[in-house]
Structure 1
């Protein structure tokens, strides 16, 4: 359910009662049950009565799994702290354990507060890094996707000043492979991949760059093209997302976080889904944050959470 001071719990409760969800799966809400109960009473949302550890699944529409030691008086709506951060981390970690053991089929994560994880001395910046470590995965990428646009990131949660030093030919090829393969499976045809340049105007042949397009991005494109991928690029980032270009592209390979997430969230904020590619288990997530300013008020839209659940079901097959 994500950070319990944010909107994650109410989104989880809402989606666990949607017939389109419960007809296709049995949602298990993972996190402190006492917090879920408090929010369910405050917003008049149904709280699943079944317990994940003891439920017989025939006839159960949804269940709760009480994970994360935190009391109600330690949580104030919209105010995260180290306790809420630790509770959300423990819940995600438990979900990974159960999914690796095949007791759960997939993980859908609500929004966490990275500062709260840091305050709790959690040694991971976010979900993606934790999932990679726990599953022993080195070749992974973060993809944000919707029916309108899909973006795969070559670098994830790092400062902009560190992007150039973190980009490698291998990381770009990996993003092309994982993103291209994912969209090819979804579309049941070879995906059309567009790789963005790093610099304005894709570097203008070195005039506006330090040669990243020529030394890193171009060779990565040629390597992936030799593996059979249908690729254009490196494209100037400022024109890559125009309507005419989007009509010709199935997935964008972006060099850094905001290069891909700004267009994705502009076009699909309410129904975008975060998918971690390359893992041995299925993990999807909402594409938005904890929205502390509207937490526990019943104002948060559940569209992205519902879409993340539906995509997880589709990926499980």
Structure 2
């Protein structure tokens, strides 16, 4: 049992569905055991209260790496909340604990204590309301590891969609589509497809920024002036790149069949299609970090917290993918 990789799962926003879906892990493991040992980073008393609310017969055990997994038991690395957490009600007082969970999981991954980290959803707004600047897991982990560039990639529904820019207002996107950003992102995507998915020479489909990929310059010149020179230079190095492609037709089956992954220029260019194809079972993978990190691809769903209606499917897939990457 001790040879099993240990996967750290952060419970995320305590008022959201993170605790609910983490409490579903023991029942899932009974039916389909993971090839790993899971430890949930959370306030132990929060999990006990939510389990009672949901009437889930889950046994909670304090995390001890020397103990093997036990059926029906959730191993918990306890990090206390600042105050009580009520399902569906955000409290900025608990925001610091949400970040502490990430810091502890990250420290364990960097020390070798954990093989990977999987994150349940956080609420960006309440963290900022608490006076801490936070734009998302991806950016936070990049800052904490001093990684100059990371790439967010969503996986699900038979698609892998990476993003050049992430949580930016739409008006700021064109200025962020630079030659440096595109080249660095494509290099990370190319390298990580080999490391994490075993595809050493991936075919990458690159979306244009503008409608019709600029229509030869009539609908914007970013494709001509910025994107094409980078793509041609990297092709000369041996990368298999197709693009820039019009985003409205890139997601058709004939085009998708030609690639192993897609690079979209901004958040809502690529993710609506992926979420339509995989909602509830898609995941988020951070590429370029010195650790393995996967995540659910949904939010905190405050309206579902404590109701028993939250779907844990995305969490299960995120864990399975993290385990596969750890073994690879």
Does residue 213 of the first structure (1) align with residue 216 of the second (2)? Answer: no
Q: Distance in 1 between matches of 2:276 and 2:79?
A: 34
Match of 2:138 in 1: 128
SS in 2 for 1:294: coil
Q: Distance in 2 between matches of 1:272 and 1:58?
A: 29
Q: Provide, for residues 222-262 of structure 1, a one-character-per-residue CA deviation record: whole Å limited to 9, x for no partner.
A: 12212211111110111111122222221111111111111
Q: Distance in 1 between matches of 2:205 and 2:226?
A: 15
Does residue 67 of the first structure (1) align with residue 79 of the second (2)? Answer: yes
Match of 1:201 in 2: 212
Aligned pairs for 1:1-317 (under 5 A) are: 1-19=11-29, 22-52=33-63, 54=64, 56-60=66-70, 62-72=74-84, 75-146=85-156, 148-185=158-195, 186=197, 188=199, 190-209=201-220, 211-317=221-327
Relative distance call for 1:190 and 1:46 in structure 2 (3 A) is farther
Relative distance call for 1:27 and 1:17 in structure 2 (3 A) is farther
Q: Provide, for residues 40-79 of structure 1, a one-character-per-residue CA deviation record: whole Å limited to 9, x for no partner.
A: 1111224443212x4532354641011142333xx22222
Report if aligned partners of 2:161, 2:261 keep a CA contact under 8 Å in 1.
Answer: yes
Relative distance call for 1:304 and 1:215 in structure 2 (3 A) is same
* TM-score when normalising by structure 1: 0.93
Structure 2 alignment gaps of length 5 or more: 1-10
SS in 1 for 2:243: strand
Q: Distance in 2 between matches of 1:274 and 1:149?
A: 12
Report if aligned partners of 2:157, 2:274 keep a CA contact under 8 Å in 1.
Answer: no
Q: Provide, for residues 121-180 of structure 1, a one-character-per-residue CA deviation record: whole Å limited to 9, x for no partner.
A: 223311111111111211311111125111111111111111111221121122222223
Q: How many residues align?
A: 313
Report if aligned partners of 2:208, 2:245 keep a CA contact under 8 Å in 1.
Answer: yes
Relative distance call for 1:144 and 1:284 in structure 2 (3 A) is same
Q: Distance in 2 between matches of 1:80 and 1:177?
A: 39
Relative distance call for 1:206 and 1:266 in structure 2 (3 A) is same
Match of 2:7 in 1: none
In the TM superposition, residue 266 of structure 1 has moved relative to its aligned partner by 0.9
Relative distance call for 1:48 and 1:221 in structure 2 (3 A) is farther
Q: Distance in 2 between matches of 1:100 and 1:65?
A: 17
* TM-score when normalising by structure 2: 0.90
| RMSD of aligned alpha carbons | 1.8
Q: Distance in 1 between matches of 2:318 and 2:256?
A: 22
